[in-house]
Amino acid sequence: MKINGTPYRSVWVNEKDGWSIHIFDQTRLPFSLDILRLTTQQEVAHAIRTMQVRGAPLIGAVAAYGLALALRQDASDAAMEQNATMLAATRPTAVNLHWAIDRMLNSLRPVAPADRVAAAYAEAGRICNEDAAQNEAIGRHGLELIREIAKNRPAGTQINLLTHCNAGWIATVDWGTALAPIYMAHDEGLNVHVWVDETRPRNQGAALTAWELGSHGVPHTVIADNAGGHLMQHGKVDLVIVGTDRVTRTGDVANKIGTYLKALAAQDNKVPFWVALPSTTIDWSVANGVTEIPIEERAASEITHVAGRDENGKQTRVQITPDGSPAANPAFDVTPARLVTGLITERGVCPATEEGLRSLFPEQ
Ligand SMILES: CSC[C@@H](O)[C@@H](O)C(=O)COP(=O)(O)O
């Protein structure tokens, strides 16, 4: 996607040295667009853990480059396996991270250590290109759903979408998952407007989705997380569309905490609830999302404190809870398949069922 007219991806190799990795520091957005240079696997692991990079597909792609950086230091079998395990442990819920590390290992194990660095950069590059292409395809399939709504309305009627967290281009290598159809709808002149859940505790909606949509000129309104149900009751949401960190083969959807409540409200108000994902987000080994998907528990300080900018423009964190009040911070929840209208993948849309997914991915 473009920033001030210049096309960017969310991760790229430094053109001059040919090996260090660049990302945007997402903890600084929306106030500052800082490009970070990562030179070691430890820096990559730190960036993932602290959410300088985040979003399921992007952490997979960045971790793949993290393994390439590790191999520059030591390309032996033992070091490669150890660094892969370390990188895979940085965040537990998004299956794309584990998928990317497994794919790297499967392609690198048969390669002689002397040739592994070049092979690792090539494989990580392919992962990035495929992610960008898959998300673009998701955009085209999701666009059909928005066109369908537009078709049944007087020309130019506003179409109101609601999204949770950030599943935009900076959560992927390019395009985004949930936001890709929205960008395409806006670009072809459909009158889309997006309700953006702020997404406490880390506010990825308020900080990142609002920044992305605003940069692209897409009309949007940031709302408190608890406002979605009310808006749906009053007919102000035509379609909910979210991304996901892991989808079971049966169609259960793990996504940012609060997604489940949106799905319940959508069901009660007969608002379609769609989930956009590349196939790298499907965990074919899991049948029951509620009992089997590991849910990341993050620091209590993300609940007790809020990050923002003060009146002098300085980025700061302020405490919002009494001293000593305990806080719990489960970072994801699971929306059961029965609440999901359908899944949007790079191969098309399907019901959130095992049959639906297998009809699109019969090779699994
Ligand atoms: C295309 S990204 C899909 C998901 O990864 C996204 O919705 C999400 O929940 C991200 O969580 P985060 O904790 O910000 O990494």
* Contact in structure between 218 and 176 (CB atoms under 8 Å): no
Active site annotation includes 34: no
Ligand 1 in contact with 95 (CB < 6 A)?
A: no
Instruction: Provide the pairing of β-strand 305-309 with 315-319.
Output: antiparallel
135 is in an annotated binding site: no
* Cα–Cα distance, 238 to 161 (Å, whole number): 6
* Cα–Cα distance, 309 to 270 (Å, whole number): 38
- The active-site residue, picked from 131, 225, 245, 333, is 245
pLDDT digits (tens, 9 = 90+) for 53-104: 999 999 999 999 999 999 999 999 999 999 999 999 999 999 999 999 999 9
Ligand 1 in contact with 244 (CB < 6 A)?
A: yes
Amino acid at residue number 182: I
- Give the number of other CB atoms < 10 A from CB of residue 279: 17
Q: What angle do CA 199, 167, 89 make, to 5 degrees?
A: 85
Strand partners of residue 195: 162, 221
Distances (CA, A) of 258 to 197, 224, 254, 311: 9, 11, 10, 30
Let me know if domain 2-129 sits in CATH 3.40.50.300.
no
Query: Domain spans of the chain?
Result: 2-129, 141-360
ipTM above 0.95, yes or no: yes
pLDDT digits (tens, 9 = 90+) for 318-338: 999 999 999 999 999 999 999
Integer distance in angstroms from the first to the last C-alpha of the chain? 32
Atom of ligand 1 at shortest range from CA of 135:
1
pLDDT digits (tens, 9 = 90+) for 14-31: 999 999 999 999 999 999
* Cα–Cα distance, 75 to 16 (Å, whole number): 23
CATH of domain 141-360: 3.40.50.10470
Residue nearest to atom 7 of ligand 1 (CA): 243
Among the listed residues 209, 262, 204, the one whose alpha carbon sits nearest the alpha carbon of residue 237: 262
Ligand 1 in contact with 344 (CB < 6 A)?
A: no
- What's residue 66's pLDDT? 98
Ligand 1 in contact with 245 (CB < 6 A)?
A: yes
**What are the tokens at 300?**
């209590």
Interval 188-208 mean pLDDT: 98
